[in-house]
């Protein structure tokens, strides 16, 4: 199969770190690699030649292939660039990801951008200087143009894998993006609400985030599939800036959404738990706890006293997808499945 040698080269490169930890310098023989990857000797040789060209290994006539000095000096750092490493679901993600990467010889370094493109630029510049094994990026807002594109391309040109979490900037091309199965997730929530007797369902999604727009499109499709009518007046949108204002205590937008929902809907599907929780608190103040609020992430916002029905996924599925992407260049992860956690609203 054309290009399979590249996949083999990527997998072998990912194994070099563990080999060094075990004190092994010599790669398996060509015969052993043929059996391991179920391929021809020529395919194995093409993979090894690619690794030689990248300076990762050296071939010694009559002896085999060995890890090169350049490969020994390769960084074992993995950078994680997020909006706030101490906020929302990120602490749990980091707490699980650090030991998982450690098993493969990688050390995780986290950088918070505060949703600032200037701070993101500084973080990307640090990545270029450190030349890590990989960089994980949670985009600030992937719908609007990002002037940090040259830095991301520079990272790609240094052969540092760029792995996006949940949404992706459009560059570098063919970058890995680890996503959840939002289409099926939205269908699950809409079907759940219909089964509970809700026919007038509203939604609140981010408009400068591809996840928000995908969930909105999936919401409209799910209504049609369930024989429910779509009303534009039940669709609400917010930006990254407005999200941060809400998290900072501003209730202006949430009050508007709540008042419109009270007039036109009996339930609302939210972008995530942090928005759902704040909206539900306002509805309680307005004595409208009859309006059902559902959302994504199954975070502490949903699982405590708020009792919000929310979609969550198995932590190990996300962590496995990330570690596989770091360790295996060219890895294409399948969307992570959502699972509904049904609760009765307080």
Answer yes or no: do 277 and 206 share one domain: yes
pLDDT for 3: 65
DSSP string covering 263-317, please? HH-SEEEESSHHHHHHHHHHHHHTT-TTSEEEEES--HHHHSTT--EEEE--HHH
Give the chain's length: 346
Answer yes or no: do 156 and 227 share one domain: no
Percent residues over pLDDT 70 in the chain: 97
Among the candidates 16, 46, 72, a domain finishes at 72
Question: HEC string of 46-111?
Answer: HHHHHHHHCCCEEEECCCEEEECHHHHCCCCEEEEEECCCCCCCHHHHHHHHHHHHHCCCCEEEEE
Percent residues over pLDDT 90 in the chain: 75
Higher pLDDT, 115 or 11: 115
Answer yes or no: do 153 and 55 share one domain: no
Answer yes or no: do 152 and 187 share one domain: no
pLDDT for 165: 97
Answer yes or no: do 284 and 186 share one domain: yes
Q: Does residue 129 sit within a domain?
A: yes
pLDDT for 1: 45
Collapsed DSSP state (helix, strand, coil) of residue 206 = strand
Q: Does residue 33 sit within a domain?
A: yes
Answer yes or no: do 136 and 211 share one domain: no
Question: For residue range 317-329, what is the model confidence (pLDDT) as tens digits?
Answer: 999 999 999 987 7
Answer yes or no: do 209 and 306 share one domain: yes
Q: Does residue 330 sit within a domain?
A: yes
Q: Given a cut of 60, is residue 241 above it in pLDDT? A: yes
State the total domains in the chain.
3
Region 143-165: mean pLDDT is: 90
Q: Does residue 343 sit within a domain?
A: no
Q: Given a cut of 90, is residue 190 above it in pLDDT? A: yes
**Distance from the Cα of residue 168 to its chain's centroid:** 9
Among the candidates 49, 72, 95, a domain finishes at 72
For residue 192, the domain's CATH number is 3.40.50.2300
Answer yes or no: do 193 and 304 share one domain: yes
Q: Does residue 346 sit within a domain?
A: no
Q: Does residue 344 sit within a domain?
A: no
For residue 12, the domain's CATH number is 1.10.10.10
Answer yes or no: do 151 and 190 share one domain: no
- The rounded radius of gyration (Å) of the Cα atoms in the chain is 24
Instruction: Return the number of other C-beta atoms located less than 10 Å from residue 125's C-beta.
Output: 14
pLDDT for 297: 97
Among the candidates 47, 72, 97, a domain finishes at 72
Q: Given a cut of 60, is residue 196 above it in pLDDT? A: yes
Question: For residue range 87-118, what is the model confidence (pLDDT) as tens digits?
Answer: 999 999 999 999 999 998 899 999 999 999 99
Asked if 155 and 162 count as a contact pair (C-beta separation under 8 A), the reply is: yes
Contacts of 8 (CB under 8 A, 6+ apart): 33, 37, 39, 43, 44, 47
pLDDT for 346: 47
Q: Does residue 256 sit within a domain?
A: yes
Question: For residue range 122-148, what is the model confidence (pLDDT) as tens digits?
Answer: 999 999 989 899 999 999 999 988 889
Q: Parallel, antiparallel, or unpaired for β 201-206 and 162-165? A: unpaired
CA distances from 151 to 125, 156, 158, 177 (A): 7, 9, 11, 18
Q: Does residue 341 sit within a domain?
A: no
Q: Tell me which residue range forms the domain holding 227.
A: 182-312
Answer yes or no: do 48 and 83 share one domain: no
Answer yes or no: do 204 and 287 share one domain: yes
- Name the pLDDT band for 54 (thresholds 50, 70, 90): confident
Considering only CA atoms, which of 240, 230, 166 is closest in space to residue 203?
230
pTM here?
0.81
**Distance from the Cα of residue 250 to its chain's centroid:** 28
Answer yes or no: do 208 and 306 share one domain: yes
């Amino acid at each position: 199969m054309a290009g399979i040698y590249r996949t083999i080269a990527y997998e072998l490169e990912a194994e070099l770190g563990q080999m060094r930890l075990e004190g092994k310098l010599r790669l398996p023989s060509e015969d052993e690699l043929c059996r391991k990857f179920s391929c021809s000797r020529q395919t194995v040789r093409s993979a090894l030649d690619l690794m030689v060209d990248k300076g990762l290994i050296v071939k010694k006539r009559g002896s085999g292939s060995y890890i090169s000095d350049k490969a020994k000096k390769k960084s074992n750092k993995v950078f994680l660039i997020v909006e706030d490493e101490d906020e929302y679901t990120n602490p749990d993600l980091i707490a699980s990801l650090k030991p998982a990467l450690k098993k493969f010889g990688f050390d995780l370094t986290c950088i918070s951008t505060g949703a600032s493109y200037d701070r993101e630029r500084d973080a990307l510049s640090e990545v270029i200087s450190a030349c890590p094994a990989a960089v994980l990026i949670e985009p600030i807002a992937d719908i609007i143009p990002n002037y940090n594109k040259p830095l991301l391309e520079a990272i790609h040109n240094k052969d540092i894998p760029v792995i996006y979490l949940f949404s992706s900037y459009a560059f570098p091309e063919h970058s890995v993006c680890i996503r959840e199965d939002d289409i099926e997730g939205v269908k699950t929530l809409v079907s759940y609400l219909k089964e509970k007797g809700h026919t007038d369902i509203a939604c609140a999604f981010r408009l400068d985030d591809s996840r928000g727009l995908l969930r909105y499109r999936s919401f409209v499709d799910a209504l049609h599939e369930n024989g429910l009518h779509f009303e534009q007046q039940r669709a609400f949108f917010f930006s990254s800036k407005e999200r941060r204002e809400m998290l900072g205590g501003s209730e202006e937008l949430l009050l508007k959404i709540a008042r419109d929902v009270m007039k036109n809907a009996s339930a609302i599907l939210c972008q995530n738990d942090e928005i759902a929780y704040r909206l539900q608190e306002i509805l309680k103040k307005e004595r409208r706890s009859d309006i059902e609020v559902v959302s994504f992430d199954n975070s502490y916002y949903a699982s405590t006293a708020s009792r919000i029905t929310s979609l969550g996924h198995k932590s190990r599925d996300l962590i496995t997808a990330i570690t596989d992407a770091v360790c295996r260049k060219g890895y294409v992860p399948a969307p992570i499945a959502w699972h509904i956690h049904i609760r009765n609203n307080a």
